[in-house]
Structure 1
Amino acid sequence: MTQYMPLFRSCSNLRSVSQLHAHLLVTGRLRRDLLPVTKLIESYAFMGSPDSSRLVFEAFPYPDSFMYGVLIKCNVWCHLLDAAIDLYHKLVLEKTQISKFVFPSVLRACAGSKDHLSVGRKVHGRIIKSGVNEDDVIETSLLSMYGQTGNLSDAEKVFDGMHVRDLVAWSTLVSICLENGEVVEALRMFKCMVDDGVEPDAVTMISVVEGCAELGCLRIAKSVHGQITRKVFEFDETLSNSLLTMYSKCGDLFSSERIFEKIVKKNAVSWTAMISSYNRGEFFEKALRSFSEMLKFGIEPNLVTLYSVLSSCGLVGLIREGKSVHGFAVRRELDPKYESLSPALVELYAECGRLSDSETVLRAVGDRNIVSWNSLISLYAHRGMVIEALCLFREMVRRRIKPDSFTLASTISACEKTDLVQLGKQIHGHVIRTDVLDEFVQNSMIDMYSKGGFVDSACTVFDQIKHKSVVTWNSMLCGFSQNGNSLEAINLFDYMYHSFLQMNEVTFLAVIQACSNIGSLEKGKWIHHKLIVCGLNDLFTDTALIDMYAKCGDLNSAETIFRGMSSRSIVSWSSMINAYGMHGRIGSALSTFNQMVESGTKPNEVVFMNVLSACGHSGSVEEGKYYFNLIKSFGILPNSEHFACFIDLLSRYGDLEEAYRTIKEMPFLSDATIWGSLVSGCRIHRRMDIIKAMKNDLSDIVTDDTGYYTLLSNVYAEEGEWEEFRRTRSTMKSSNLRKVPGYSAIEIDKKVFRFGAGEEPCFQTGEIYRFLGNFKNLTLEADYLQINE
Structure 2
Amino acid sequence: MGGQRRQKLETAAHAAANRERAADAADAHDARPRWPLVLAASLLASAAFALPKKAQDEATRPQQEMSKKTVKKFSHKVYQMEDSQALDFLERWYQGQEDLGGLARMPPKVRQSFRTMFNNIIKTAGKDGTMSESVLWYQRMRAAKIDVNPRTFGKLVAAAASRGLVEEAELWLETMVGEGLQPDLVTMSSVIAACCEAKEPLRAERWFQLLLQQRLTPDLFVYTSMVDAHAEAGDGDKAAAWLQRAVDAGIDVSTACYNAVIKAYCRQGDLEVANEWLEKAKAAGHTLDIMSYNTVLNFFAEEGDIKAAEDWLDKIKASGLQPDQVSFNTMIKAASVSKRLSETEKYVKEMASYRLQPTAATYVTLVSAYADKGDLKNAQLWYDKAEAATGEKVRAKTVAALVKAYVKAGDVQGAERCLADAVKKDGMELNNVVYTTMINAYAESGDVDGASAWFRRAREKSRERLNLWSYNAMIKACANARDPARAQQWFNIAIEDGLKPDVWSYTLMISACGKAGRVGEARRWLERMEPAGVQPNVVSYTEAIKAGAQSRTSKAPGLREYQLFARMLSEGVWPTVVTYNFLLQSMVRSRPKMMREAEDVFRHMAQCKLKPNKFTQINLARVLGLERTLELCKELGFKVAPDLH
Normalised to the residue count of structure 1, the TM-score between the two structures is 0.55
Once residues 613 and 196 of structure 2 are traced to their aligned partners in structure 1, the CA distance between those partners, rounded to angstroms, is: 47
After superposition, give the CA deviation of every residue in 1:150-170 in whole Å (9 maximum; x if it has no partner).
Answer: 664443233124132333321
**Structure 2 matches for 1:165-314, cutoff 5 A?**
165-177=218-230, 185-194=238-247, 196=249, 198-249=251-302, 253-254=309-310, 256-258=312-314, 260-261=316-317, 262=319, 264-295=321-352, 297-314=354-371
Which AA in structure 1 matches 2:642? F
Which AA in structure 2 matches 1:202? T
Tell me: CA distance 1:293–1:166, structure 2 relative to 1, closer, same or farther (3 Å): same
Once residues 136 and 395 of structure 1 are traced to their aligned partners in structure 2, the CA distance between those partners, rounded to angstroms, is: 47
Tell me: CA distance 1:362–1:479, structure 2 relative to 1, closer, same or farther (3 Å): same
Judge conservation of contact 2:328–2:351 (CA < 8 Å) in 1.
yes
Tell me: CA distance 1:392–1:152, structure 2 relative to 1, closer, same or farther (3 Å): same
Q: SS in structure 1 opposite 2:396?
A: coil
Structure scoring higher RCO (CA < 8 A, sep ≥ 6) equals 2
Which AA in structure 1 matches 2:508? S
**Structure 2 matches for 1:305-344, cutoff 5 A?**
305-316=362-373, 319-335=376-392, 339-344=396-401
**Structure 2 matches for 1:760-779, cutoff 5 A?**
none
Residues paired across the two proteins, number:
538
Matched, 1:405 2:458: no
Once residues 456 and 399 of structure 1 are traced to their aligned partners in structure 2, the CA distance between those partners, rounded to angstroms, is: 35
> Residue 186 of structure 2: which of 121, 134, 137 is its match?
137
**Equivalent in the alignment of 2:206:** 157
**Mean Cα displacement is larger for which, 347-356 or 117-126?**
347-356
Tell me: CA distance 1:110–1:303, structure 2 relative to 1, closer, same or farther (3 Å): same
Tell me: CA distance 1:227–1:129, structure 2 relative to 1, closer, same or farther (3 Å): farther
Tell me: CA distance 1:171–1:79, structure 2 relative to 1, closer, same or farther (3 Å): farther
**Structure 2 matches for 1:96-107, cutoff 5 A?**
98-107=148-157
**Structure 2 matches for 1:334-733, cutoff 5 A?**
334-335=391-392, 339-349=396-406, 351=408, 357-364=414-421, 368-369=430-431, 371-372=433-434, 374-375=436-437, 378=440, 386=445, 392-393=450-451, 396=454, 404-412=470-478, 414-415=480-481, 421=482, 424=483, 428=487, 431=490, 440=504, 443-451=507-515, 453-455=517-519, 458=522, 467=532, 469-471=535-537, 472=540, 474-483=542-551, 485=554, 487=556, 490-491=559-560, 502=571, 504-506=573-575, 509=580, 514=586, 517-518=589-590, 546=599, 548=601, 568=611, 574=617, 582=625, 584=627, 588=631, 607-610=641-644, 612=645
Once residues 142 and 492 of structure 1 are traced to their aligned partners in structure 2, the CA distance between those partners, rounded to angstroms, is: 43
Tell me: CA distance 1:575–1:193, structure 2 relative to 1, closer, same or farther (3 Å): farther
Tell me: CA distance 1:240–1:86, structure 2 relative to 1, closer, same or farther (3 Å): farther
Q: CA deviation at 1:344?
A: 0.8
Once residues 556 and 629 of structure 2 are traced to their aligned partners in structure 1, the CA distance between those partners, rounded to angstroms, is: 32
Q: CA deviation at 1:490?
A: 3.6
After superposition, give the CA deviation of every residue in 1:33-55 in whole Å (9 maximum; x if it has no partner).
Answer: 77766554443246875434777
Which AA in structure 2 matches 1:444? L
Instruction: Show structure 2 runs of 5+ residues with no match.
Output: 1-57, 60-65, 98-102, 104-109, 424-428, 461-465
**Equivalent in the alignment of 1:634:** none
Judge conservation of contact 1:443–1:475 (CA < 8 Å) in 2.
yes
Which AA in structure 2 matches 1:481? A
Q: CA deviation at 1:115?
A: 5.4
Judge conservation of contact 2:510–2:523 (CA < 8 Å) in 1.
yes
Judge conservation of contact 1:111–1:145 (CA < 8 Å) in 2.
yes
Q: CA deviation at 1:215?
A: 3.4
Q: CA deviation at 1:201?
A: 0.8
Judge conservation of contact 1:184–1:215 (CA < 8 Å) in 2.
no
Tell me: CA distance 1:363–1:406, structure 2 relative to 1, closer, same or farther (3 Å): farther
Once residues 152 and 298 of structure 2 are traced to their aligned partners in structure 1, the CA distance between those partners, rounded to angstroms, is: 40
Q: SS in structure 2 opposite 1:232?
A: coil
Q: CA deviation at 1:345?
A: 0.5
Once residues 610 and 200 of structure 2 are traced to their aligned partners in structure 1, the CA distance between those partners, rounded to angstroms, is: 44
Which AA in structure 2 matches 1:450? G
Please give the root-mean-square deviation of Cα atoms over the aligned residues, in Å.
5.2
Judge conservation of contact 1:346–1:362 (CA < 8 Å) in 2.
yes
Q: CA deviation at 1:518?
A: 2.8
Q: SS in structure 1 opposite 2:381?
A: helix
Tell me: CA distance 1:36–1:478, structure 2 relative to 1, closer, same or farther (3 Å): same
Once residues 212 and 395 of structure 1 are traced to their aligned partners in structure 2, the CA distance between those partners, rounded to angstroms, is: 42
Q: CA deviation at 1:198?
A: 3.7
Computing the radius of gyration over CA atoms, which structure comes out larger, 1 or 2? 1
Q: CA deviation at 1:32?
A: 1.6
Matched, 1:82 2:146: no
Instruction: Show structure 1 runs of 5+ residues with no match.
Output: 1-20, 23-28, 416-420, 526-544, 550-557, 597-602, 613-789
**Equivalent in the alignment of 1:747:** none
Q: CA deviation at 1:77?
A: 3.8
Q: CA deviation at 1:200?
A: 1.6
Judge conservation of contact 2:510–2:525 (CA < 8 Å) in 1.
yes
Q: How many percent of aligned residue pairs carry the same amino acid?
A: 13
Tell me: CA distance 1:589–1:293, structure 2 relative to 1, closer, same or farther (3 Å): same
Once residues 84 and 565 of structure 1 are traced to their aligned partners in structure 2, the CA distance between those partners, rounded to angstroms, is: 56
Which AA in structure 1 matches 2:159? A
**Equivalent in the alignment of 1:615:** none
Judge conservation of contact 1:42–1:71 (CA < 8 Å) in 2.
no
Which AA in structure 1 matches 2:122? I
Once residues 477 and 79 of structure 1 are traced to their aligned partners in structure 2, the CA distance between those partners, rounded to angstroms, is: 48
Which AA in structure 2 matches 1:51? D
Q: CA deviation at 1:306?
A: 1.3
